[in-house]
A and B are shown apart, each in its own frame.
Chain A
Amino acid sequence: MLPEKLEKLIGQIGETGMFEVEKGAIKKYADSIGDRNPLYWDDEYARNSRYGAMIAPPGFFGWPTQWNTTMPFFSKFREKLVSASIEEGFDKLLDGGSEYDFIQPIRAGDILASMPKIIAIIEREGKSGVMLFSTLETTFINQHGVKVAKYRQTIIHRK
């Protein structure tokens, strides 16, 4: 049985974050991967492409418009899930994988709203005892109200 405190978190929606997809940030991201795709580097090339503008590499959603609790790796909402599981004794965390749906292109200059939601917490019996698999789904919507991507992150919680 899933502890009540964790059961209650399923379906909860976290605060909306705002992300700006800047050209410089796109280049910095592409450079760190070693990706020289002209769609991330060459303005004119990108303007003449089917996208009509520079685009973001898949998986890049820009940077928060303000310093706040939705900074990419310090989401208060994620912390809430993690601390609730630690309280129940699940204090070892593992990355359970990432999953993306790329729905529409993300272009330089876009402002994205991110909406995180806990879509699942599942209990499973593993070799080392009971484990929890929690999945946080973040939906990104651009300034035109278009859903551009969904990102699901699964965390494995062990005792």
Chain B
Amino acid sequence: MTQIYWENIEEGNEITPLEKKPTTQDLAKWAGASGDFNPLHYEDTFAKTQHMEGPIVHGQLKRAWLAQMLTDWIGEYGDLLKFSCQFRAVDYPCVMKDLFESTGDDNPLMCKGKVTKKYTDDGKNCLDCDIWIENAKGESGTLGKATVALPSKG
């Protein structure tokens, strides 16, 4: 893993984006791993009774992807201190191409972020960031904020 340092980051810098092409298989895996077995995320008929076009991606899975984007970016010596997100729109999974892969063309999602503030607090080298997930149309239905601390070169 590459490590970024506080000295190299400025306000306005972008966080390395993370692309996800979720399928219903990923939603089933998340259900098992997280314990959220709401049929809204894997049962077509039930999802339609909830006024959805079909099963939708778990909000908490989108939250976990944003956290992954941050921990990938800050590296092993960075600390994720605070994290928040809100879900304003639903996202649908991609169609499966074969047993394991998604076609990824229908509903790819891109996790993104930007540094909004650089400061020191209680001896920590902190960055505040805006984070969000964009769909293929460039709309952001998942929005959040995070505070991270980075190691210093000094």
Bound pair (A, B): yes
- Is A109 an interface residue, CB under 8 A from the partner? no
> Taking A57-B64, A58-B71, A95-B59 as contacts, is the C-beta distance between A102 and B32 under 8 angstroms?
no
A49 to B71, CA, bound (A): 15
> Which residues of chain A come closer than 8 Å to B34, judged between CB atoms?
29, 32, 72
A109 to B61, CA, bound (A): 24
A128 to B61, CA, bound (A): 29
Contact of B26 with A32 in the complex, beta carbons under 8 Å:
yes
CB distance from A122 to the nearest CB of B (A): 16
A102 to B33, CA, bound (A): 20
Contact of B84 with A99 in the complex, beta carbons under 8 Å:
yes
> Which residues of chain B come closer than 8 Å to A95, judged between CB atoms?
59, 86-87
Contact of B32 with A32 in the complex, beta carbons under 8 Å:
yes
Interface size counted on chain A using CB atoms at 8 A:
28
Contact of A98 with B60 in the complex, beta carbons under 8 Å:
yes
Contact of A73 with B37 in the complex, beta carbons under 8 Å:
yes
> Which residues of chain A come closer than 8 Å to B29, judged between CB atoms?
28, 31-32
CB distance from B120 to the nearest CB of A (A): 19
> Taking A37-B71, A72-B35 as contacts, is the C-beta distance between A98 and B64 under 8 angstroms?
no
Task: Provide the A97-121 mask, 1 if CB < 8 A to any CB of B, else 0.
Answer: 1111110000000000000000000
Looking at the complex, which one of B30, B59, B81 makes contact with A32 (CB distance below 8 Å)?
Answer: B30
Contact of A37 with B72 in the complex, beta carbons under 8 Å:
yes
CB within 8 Å: A-B pair count = 85
A34 to B26, CA, bound (A): 9
- Of residues 58 through 114 on chain A, the ones whose CB sits less than 8 Å from some CB of chain B are 58-59, 63, 71-73, 95-102
Contact of A63 with B67 in the complex, beta carbons under 8 Å:
no
- Is A35 an interface residue, CB under 8 A from the partner? yes
CB distance from B38 to the nearest CB of A (A): 7
Contact of B76 with A33 in the complex, beta carbons under 8 Å:
no
Task: Provide the B22-56 mask, 1 if CB < 8 A to any CB of A, else 0.
Answer: 00001001101111111000000000000000000
> Taking A57-B71, A59-B63, A59-B64 as contacts, is the C-beta distance between A73 and B86 under 8 angstroms?
no
CB distance from A96 to the nearest CB of B (A): 7
A73 to B34, CA, bound (A): 9
> Taking A58-B71, A63-B35, A73-B37 as contacts, is the C-beta distance between A33 and B81 under 8 angstroms?
no
A residues touching B (Cβ–Cβ < 8 Å)? Answer: 25, 28-29, 31-35, 37-39, 49-50, 57-59, 63, 71-73, 95-102
Could you show 5 A-B contacts with beta carbons less than 8 Å apart? Answer: A58-B83, A59-B60, A98-B84, A100-B84, A102-B81
